[in-house]
Amino acid sequence: MKQELTRLIQQALDSLVEQGQLPADIQPQVQIDRTRDKTHGDLASNIALTLAKAAKQAPRDLATLICAALPQADLVVRTEIAGPGFINFFLSDSNNQAVVRRILDEREAFGRNNSGGGQKVQVEFVSANPTGPLHVGHGRGAAVGDSLCRLLAATGWDVSSEFYYNDAGAQINNLALSVQARCRGLGPDDPAWPQDGYRGDYITELAQAYQRGEKIDAEDQHVTACGDTDDVEAIRQFAVAYLRREQDLDLKAFGVHFDVYFLESSLYLSGAVEATVQRLVEQGHTYQHEGAMWLRTTDFGDDKDRVMRKSDGGYTYFLPDVAYHQNKWQRGFQRVINEQGADHHSTVTRVRAGLQALQQDIPQGWPDYVLHQMVTVMRDGEEAKLSKRAGSYHTLRDLIDEVGRDATRYFLVARAPSSQLTFDIDLALSQSNDNPVYYIQYAHARVCSIMRKLGEQGWSWEAQDAMQHLGELGDEHEKALLRRLDRYPEIVANAAANNEPHTIATYLRELAGDFHTWYNASKMLVSEQPVRDARLALSQAVRQVIANGLDLLGVSAPEVM
RNA sequence: GGGGGUAUAGCUCAGCUGGAUAGAGCACCGGCCUUCUAAGCCGACGGUCGCAGGUUCGAAUCCUGCUACUCCCGCCA
């Protein structure tokens, strides 16, 4: 549509140049935008404004000239010059109604595109270490990351979701010691309790399971406890598997799936870390200082150099991070998106710098990062921080159990990741128009309800027949809905291109609003069949788009509420 | 001190990559269920887009400088 109009304007400009009404050396950038206000028509161009100076004419005069020179076209009913010199295009009703046919035709595919062209993309998210249950912050990562995967898949990318974790570092050792202490009947307040041990009640449950000799099957870990309290290594393996399984259950309850679980320890086992060190040394960006080996990350935009090998011979976490991302690159992911909490933002520059130092033609801005800000959980107007089980923070499971999967996912994905999020439990629980999740789902259920009612009335509806009567759609509410539906594919494309799943949530809220308004203003099940057919077609189109959009957010679209 | 993020209605937030009169929801006030689901609708109220400059036909949006809040700044991950 925009292309068509662009072509028309281009032709008009060409003919004006030919007639000498415009200088031959102008370089027009024809831009067509959707209008924000329907009184401005359907589409608008600012071409006269941008060209006014070069053409040495007042914008409105120039707009008049361009309009007069526009070739005839069926889809344009009329044009109008407005404001400082915009050209507004009013498209034909039949053109605007065509979106309904397209939606009912394409169904689940409506809004999808193939801009990814089957290229590989990896989305890494959550990546929680197995030291405890997932908390609300991980939940935000899961909601945003999973929705991103769905968006990318919907736009033609070959998506792989990945969960990276450390199963062998100091934190894990700490975890094993905490479990061992519990096995020995110690509590966090005992003098013999490990320094910085994990204090949550789940450690006790873990210790009991270990002593019972429980068998654990996590997505990527399978361990049977030997029950030996002295065997710290056995405890470590068991604890990792146990907590991974816990997290799996959290993720499953949340409807989030991962294709790959990647262990930090595997980078050591495979020699990847050592190889990365070698490469960095060979490329000459390292130096020794005070017994440690440093990488000159300041050569690549960091504000200070970083230690990569400690004076005790061990590596800092920075190095496996670089090795890990080098591994991603070697796996052929030219696009990688890392979804993380913003408290890790300092690793962004560091990892990119490390990758540049490898000098392996990895693009400078690679990989992409989506960083989400903190989540605060509110209840009764107060911050709800404590979870007894986890010992400190609010767990994702608590939230899902309390407000349900759909509401949890919606609220965690509905805001721009860059803005801090206040999760209002009371709002998420409310079964009223306060609650946007139900507001959107209700619109979907309403359409389903109408269709059920149709049968009860002894009527039927066939898409094919209904398509003949789309001309019946024409009141203001219906036009607003048609406009809104028409935008959906663009919304999806932009959300995927910019890593912004929250825009889908915003859109659905607006679409549902348009629908509810229309529903209250007009009756769908009227006796006059052509009108009824047309309205049901529009309703079905709305239902389809809501279902498609909710799916991108991982939220269900119930038929009955 | 250095860096990231944020600042829009009383509250929670959008704002389609620079467009026309800045939008929703909540809260508050007033209306709408003998008719397809009232988890809904309609109306009213509510703004110096943090402050000051700059860029241009045009700025909430881009640039610079301030201010406030927040996160990070370890040979921890």
CA dihedral (A499, A504, A507, A508) in degrees, to 10, reads: -170
Of A12-26, A237-251, A275-289, the poorest mean pLDDT is in A12-26
Predicted local confidence at residue A3, as pLDDT? 84
How far does the CA of A25 sit from the C1' of B44, in Å? 55
Asked if residue A61 belongs to a domain, the reply is: yes
Are the C-beta atoms of residues A485 and A542 closer than 8 Å to each other? yes
Asked if residue A111 belongs to a domain, the reply is: no
Predicted local confidence at residue A388, as pLDDT? 61
Predicted local confidence at residue A378, as pLDDT? 83
Question: Which residue has the least CA–C1' distance to nucleotide B37?
Answer: A446
Phi and psi angles of residue A32, each rounded to the nearest 5 degrees, phi first: -120, 130
Residue with tokens 């991980």: A138
Give strand letter and number of the nucleotide nearest A264 (CA to C1').
B77
Asked if residue A323 belongs to a domain, the reply is: no
How far does the CA of A415 sit from the C1' of B64, in Å? 30
Q: Among A52, A73, A91, where does a domain finish?
A: A91
**In this model, does residue A84 exceed pLDDT 80?**
yes
Query: ipTM of the predicted structure?
Result: 0.95
How far apart CA A558 and CA A561 sit, in angstroms, is 7
Give strand letter and number of the nucleotide nearest A422 (CA to C1').
B12
How far does the CA of A510 sit from the C1' of B61, in Å? 22
Predicted local confidence at residue A272, as pLDDT? 94
CATH number at residue A471: 1.10.730.10
Residue A108: is it exposed, middle or buried by C-beta count within 10 angstroms (0-12/13-18/19+)?
A: exposed
Question: Which residue has the least CA–C1' distance to nucleotide B22?
Answer: A36
pLDDT-based confidence at residue A43 (cuts at 50, 70, 90): very high
How far apart CA A398 and CA A257 sit, in angstroms, is 20
Question: Which residue has the least CA–C1' distance to nucleotide B77?
Answer: A317
Asked if residue A519 belongs to a domain, the reply is: yes
How far apart CA A364 and CA A540 sit, in angstroms, is 46
How far does the CA of A317 sit from the C1' of B3, in Å? 20
pLDDT-based confidence at residue A317 (cuts at 50, 70, 90): confident
How far does the CA of A424 sit from the C1' of B32, in Å? 30
Give strand letter and number of the nucleotide nearest A348 (CA to C1').
B4
Bond before A367 cis per omega within 30 degrees: yes
**Segment A109-121, tens digit of pLDDT:** 999 999 999 999 9
Of A102-111, A188-197, A244-253, A533-542, the poorest mean pLDDT is in A188-197
From the CA atom positions of chain A, what is the Rg in Å? 29
How far apart CA A51 and CA A29 sit, in angstroms, is 9
**Segment A205-235, tens digit of pLDDT:** 999 999 999 999 999 999 999 999 999 999 9
HSE of A318 in the Cβ direction (CA atoms, 13 Å)? 25
Give strand letter and number of the nucleotide nearest A50 (CA to C1').
B57
How far apart CA A377 and CA A388 sit, in angstroms, is 15
Of A155-169, A224-238, A371-385, A420-434, the poorest mean pLDDT is in A420-434
How far does the CA of A411 sit from the C1' of B12, in Å? 11
Q: A397 or A168: which carries more pLDDT confidence?
A: A397
Are the C-beta atoms of residues A446 and A560 closer than 8 Å to each other? no
Asked if residue A521 belongs to a domain, the reply is: yes
Predicted local confidence at residue A302, as pLDDT? 85
In 3D, which of A176, A177, A209, A208 has the Cα closest to residue A190?
A177
Distances (CA, A) of A49 to A35, A45, A159: 16, 9, 42
Neighbouring C-beta atoms of residue A183, cutoff 10 Å? 20
Are the C-beta atoms of residues A95 and A75 closer than 8 Å to each other? yes
Are the C-beta atoms of residues A239 and A223 closer than 8 Å to each other? no
Asked if residue A170 belongs to a domain, the reply is: no
pLDDT-based confidence at residue A102 (cuts at 50, 70, 90): very high
Question: Which residue has the least CA–C1' distance to nucleotide B20?
Answer: A83
Are the C-beta atoms of residues A442 and A561 closer than 8 Å to each other? yes
Q: Among A91, A122, A143, where does a domain finish?
A: A91
How far does the CA of A141 sit from the C1' of B69, in Å? 23
Give strand letter and number of the nucleotide nearest A346 (CA to C1').
B72
Predicted local confidence at residue A480, as pLDDT? 93
Q: Among A24, A59, A91, where does a domain finish?
A: A91
pLDDT-based confidence at residue A470 (cuts at 50, 70, 90): very high
**Parent domain of A85:** 2-91
How far apart CA A460 and CA A468 sit, in angstroms, is 15
Instruction: Determine the residue type at A14.
Output: D
**In this model, does residue A433 exceed pLDDT 60?**
no
Give strand letter and number of the nucleotide nearest A83 (CA to C1').
B20
Give strand letter and number of the nucleotide nearest A498 (CA to C1').
B17
If one counts the domains in chain A, the total is 2
CATH number at residue A45: 3.30.1360.70
How far does the CA of A190 sit from the C1' of B70, in Å? 36
How far apart CA A425 and CA A404 sit, in angstroms, is 11
Asked if residue A526 belongs to a domain, the reply is: yes
How far apart CA A120 and CA A407 sit, in angstroms, is 31
In 3D, which of A143, A157, A492 has the Cα closest to residue A336?
A157
On strand B, nucleotides with any atom < 7 Å from a protein CB are 2-7, 12-17, 19-21, 24-27, 35-37, 39-42, 57, 70-77
Neighbouring C-beta atoms of residue A399, cutoff 10 Å? 28
Q: Which residues are bridge partners to A165 per DSSP? A: A263
How far does the CA of A349 sit from the C1' of B66, in Å? 27
Of A126-130, A177-181, A362-366, A383-387, the poorest mean pLDDT is in A383-387
How far does the CA of A504 sit from the C1' of B40, in Å? 22
How far apart CA A247 and CA A249 sit, in angstroms, is 5
How far apart CA A435 and CA A443 sit, in angstroms, is 13
**In this model, does residue A270 exceed pLDDT 60?**
yes
Asked if residue A246 belongs to a domain, the reply is: no
**In this model, does residue A162 exceed pLDDT 90?**
yes
Starting from the edge strand earliest in sequence, which strands make up the sheet with A286-289, in order?
A: A286-289, A292-295, A306-309
